[in-house]
Amino acid sequence: MENLGVETSLLGFGCMRFTRKGGAFDIDKAEKEVLRAIELGVNYFDTAYLYVGNEACLGEILSRNHLREKVNIATKLPQYKIVSAEGIESCFQEELRRLKTDYIDYYLMHMLTDIASWERLEKLGIRCKAFAPIQPFLSTHYNYRDHRKILVIDGKVAFTGGVNLADEYINRKERFGHWKDTAILLRGEAVQSFTLMFLQMWNLTEKEPRWDEALLPSPPVEAEGYVMPYCDCPLDDYKVGESVYMDILNRAKDYVHIMTPYLILDNEMETALKFAAQRGVDVKLILPGIPDKKAAYALAKSHYQYLTAAGVKLYEYTPGFVHAKIFASDDVKAVVGTINLDYRSLYHHFECAAYLYGGPTVGDVERDFQRTLEQCRRVTPETIRHEKLGYKLGGSLMKLVAPLL
């Protein structure tokens, strides 16, 4: 699951076969087995609602040894027993109680083996699609990813930004130190634009695409400034994400402040960053202090010497990992979205963002940047010289495959 940014052990522990003693599980023996597995590096534990007493046994072992945050729990919804949407919630809450936790890492459908069962769940209001499912033929499309993060509620409110639906994004679960992210809430006409972006992707596999029922009128709002939602697609010739960033850099007069988790640059973007700094613009970038992907981290560091020599100011977020994707410039412009400064986001991903011009929200973005900057260390020629040899060598080698990272 590394591609999802999740670190699980290659081997998982199936809890169904815990040793029984009489009519119940032998919790003392099961505890020794679980602790030994964790000691050996196993962090994925599988159980299910159907395994009577099993969830409760695992929950008790993890609770009394204070191990919940060190493991991933997978359990299962007994979909064949569900007859209503309320039943799903009731079952889920019961499993949380048994496992003595307030979240489950992987929630699976148990024994979903036929189309009829899937259709029955859809009738309960649950619909989900996989982006670009694997097909039995070779295609360059496998390199594309849906990187958009869009949440629209009743046509009235839309959210976008770097935040995914996972516990580390709200720091309920710590994986790479403190997780710093950003998102923006929008109301008004901009909401309909994000609805359209979602429907464009959803309707790709619909036999009869439906638009009107979801394109609800957005209540008008009074606000200062302007917001322009936009998206990027790898299937056309318009590199919108890159063009917006380049335009901000080229037109900036006073400052351009950036947060990005990855810094994997082509010559054009690196030149734009350096040229902005060389003509007197205050160009600052905040990058992670603790990486989620060491290869990408090493590659980012390979740009440090050339950028700092041109006057670009680089900072690393000491509490942990920066996943925010923002640009702020001259107290007038800002971008909040999903677009990283790397090849994948700029050329291979489906992306989205909100471009802000004027208004108080631009100032909010800049103030968030400044608050984050207070927790950062400055990258200097000295810190670059003393960088670990592994990162120096790794960064040079990674440049050969940079477009794939």
Residues annotated as catalytic (active site), given as ranges: 147, 149, 154, 323, 325, 330
∠ CA 196-241-351, rounded to 5°: 45
Q: Under 8 Å CB-to-CB from 392, ≥6 apart: which residues?
A: 298, 301, 302
Distance of CA 150 to the CA centre of its chain: 12
336 and 248 in contact (C-beta within 8 Å)? no
DSSP state letters, 311-367: T-EEEEETTEEE---EEEETTTEEEEES--BSHIIIIIEEEEEEEEESSHHHHHHHH
SS3 for 20?
strand
Only one residue has tokens 């810094």, namely 263
Distance separating alpha carbons of residues 245 and 241, to the nearest angstrom: 7
Distance separating alpha carbons of residues 69 and 101, to the nearest angstrom: 10
Q: Under 8 Å CB-to-CB from 128, ≥6 apart: which residues?
A: none
Helical (H) or strand (E) element with 39: helix 27-39
Burial of 67 (0-12, 13-18, 19+ CB in 10 A): middle
Q: Under 8 Å CB-to-CB from 362, ≥6 apart: which residues?
A: 225, 328, 331, 332, 333, 334, 356
Distance of CA 101 to the CA centre of its chain: 23
Distance separating alpha carbons of residues 272 and 278, to the nearest angstrom: 10
Distance separating alpha carbons of residues 85 and 91, to the nearest angstrom: 10
Distance separating alpha carbons of residues 86 and 124, to the nearest angstrom: 9
